[in-house]
Amino acid sequence: MPQTKVQMEQQIQINDLAKDIEVIKDNHLQHMAQDIDEIRMDIKTNKAHFNGRMDRLDNRIFWVLGLTVSTLVSIIASMVV
């Protein structure tokens, strides 16, 4: 049975959609995967940078805490003696 004009147009649209889907799967998803990998690497470098800064900040906090406690102990010791 011959196809009608509407059926032929629908078949053409289906073929166009199938081609578009293939283009998206082949090109766009590949580029998205590359972009995600680049972002992942950037996050790793940022994480290493901020971890180093946090470690230095932790050290400074402990130094200030140590100095405060030692000052408090020396004041209490001078009051007792």
CA separation for the pair 9, 4 (Å, rounded): 9
When comparing pLDDT for 70 and 20, which is higher? 70
Pairwise CA distance, residues 18 & 59, whole Å: 60
Spell out the domain ranges in the chain: 1-81
The 10s digit of each residue's pLDDT in 5-57 is: 888 888 889 999 999 888 888 777 778 888 899 999 989 888 888 888 999 99
Q: Taking the complete model, does pTM exceed 0.75, yes or no?
A: no
Q: What is the pLDDT of residue 33?
A: 83
